Homo-oligomer: A and B are copies of this chain.
Amino acid sequence: MGSTVSSRPAVVLLSGGLDSATVLAMARAQGHDCHCLSVDYGQRHRAELVAAARVAKALGAASHRTLTLDLRAFGGSALTDSAIDVPVDGVAPGIPVTYVPARNTIMLSLALAWAEVLGAQDIHCGVNAVDYSGYPDCRPEYIKAFEAMANLATKAAVEGARLTVHAPLIALTKAGIIRAGADLGVDYGLTVSCYQADDTGRACGVCDSCRLRREGFAAAGIADPTPYR
């Protein structure tokens, strides 16, 4: 993450959660024109898509698009298969059942497509290697491998453009992310992290995502603005 001011376009993957809102604020602070991409993939917590739209607006995104791609066709995750329950008994070791097969690869691929059309050379995403140890597509070596692939994949790359995938949160704790975002004025009350948020965005408070978020605010010493039900 550099700190140079730029007006170059960038694509920001925006889920509507806490992490990607922070990334958008960071990219905006760097002066990027931010084109935000959300994906309606059939996730349980569709309230995050509503959150994404309000976060994009609040943080001055240049544009925001939501693509529909129903990953329930494949299933294999508690987030895309209603027959698999979201765990609520605490964060367990290993890769959780909320892992969605190849989700980050799919989303980064869509961001790559849009970046090429926009003439953007920067993709920003909120992947984080700390929350869930071993989450495969949140590791630095994965991001580097995607970037290497992307730089062979496009007409833009052949013509000399160099794409960079920015994952500025990758090594931060949740508390560190929250402090960074708070410094940039992010209103986390607009964001939805809960895996089973209700239609109005109110959080369950007991899924892994809620637990990590709640502990993050506590550790950061910042009041938790999350609406719990």
Is B149 within 8 A of A142, CB to CB? yes
A149 and B148 within 8 A (CB): yes
For the complex, is A223 an interface residue (Cβ under 8 Å from B)?
no
Instruction: List the B side residues contacting A105 at CB < 8 Å.
Output: 109, 112-113, 149-150, 153
Q: In the complex where A148-B148, A153-B102, A154-B102 touch, is A74 in contact with B136 (Cβ < 8 A)?
A: no
Taking CB atoms and an 8 Å cut-off, the chain A residues in 76-106 that contact chain B are 76, 95, 99-106
Total identical chains: 2
- Identify whether the interface residues of A are mostly helix, strand, loop, or mixed: helix
A44 located at the interface, meaning its Cβ lies under 8 Å from any Cβ of chain B in the complex: no
Binds B, one of A63-71, A185-193, A208-216: A63-71
Q: How many A residues have CB within 8 A of the partner chain? A: 43
Tell me whether A113 and B117 are in contact (CB under 8 A).
Answer: no
Judge whether A152 and B142 touch: CB under 8 Å. yes
Q: Which of B65, B71, B148, B153 contacts A113 (CB 8 A)?
A: B71
Interface residues in A102-136 by Cβ distance below 8 A to B read 102-106, 109-110, 112-114, 116-117, 134, 136
A177-212 interface with B by 8 A CB criterion: none
In whole angstroms, how far apart are the Cα atoms of A12 and B145 in the complex? Answer: 23
In the bound complex, how far is the Cα of B46 from the Cα of A197, in angstroms? 37
> By the criterion CB–CB under 8 Å, are A74 and B153 in contact?
no
Contact B68 A68 (CB under 8 A): yes
Task: Check B103–A113 contact: CB distance below 8 A.
Answer: yes
Contact A117 B74 (CB under 8 A): yes
Q: Which of B68, B137, B155 contacts A153 (CB 8 A)?
A: B137
Give CA–CA (A139, B153) in the complex, Å: 9
User: 8 nearest interchain CB pairs?
Assistant: A102-B113, A76-B117, A101-B116, A145-B149, A142-B152, A109-B109, A102-B112, A101-B113
Beyond contacts A105-B153, A106-B109, A149-B149: 4 other A-B pairs, Cβ-Cβ < 8 A, are: A65-B73, A67-B69, A99-B155, A103-B113
